[in-house]
Amino acid sequence: MNASLAVAAGAALVALGLAVLLAAPTLMRKLLAFNVMGGGVFMLLLALAPRTPQGTADPIAQALVLTGIVVAIAATALGLLLARRYHKATGRSALPDEDAGEDGEQGTDD
């Protein structure tokens, strides 16, 4: 894969994940968007890693990405656990709006 294509794909994944993370109302979509964004960051790290004269990527960058994947899996498991507990406690799968009252009704600007 061409390095500039990998950079463009990684940047697109980061942008797509960030857009969905900000726009999605449900916790599962936010978690999925966070994982897509993380995949884009991993692609960027590998695409922009320094190359040896033989053309292989720096092993330090590869080790960092592999460690990041393990951490991302653990963070996803924690996020799923917290989302499940939130759903069990409230019966909702989406976070309430910031301007909502205690009953979930929209606040008024009096």
Mean pLDDT, the chain, whole residue set:
85
pLDDT in the model for residue 1: 61
Report the range of poorest mean pLDDT among 48-62, 63-77, 78-92. Answer: 48-62
pLDDT in the model for residue 58: 82
State phi, psi for 56 to the nearest 5 degrees. Answer: -85, 155
Q: Taking a C-beta distance cutoff of 8 angstroms, is the pair 51, 57 a contact? A: yes
- Asked whether residue 103 carries a pLDDT value surpassing 60, the answer given is no
Domain covering 3-50+57-90: architecture: Orthogonal Bundle (1.10)
Q: Where do the domains of the chain lie?
A: 3-50+57-90
**Side chain identity at 32, as an amino acid letter?**
L
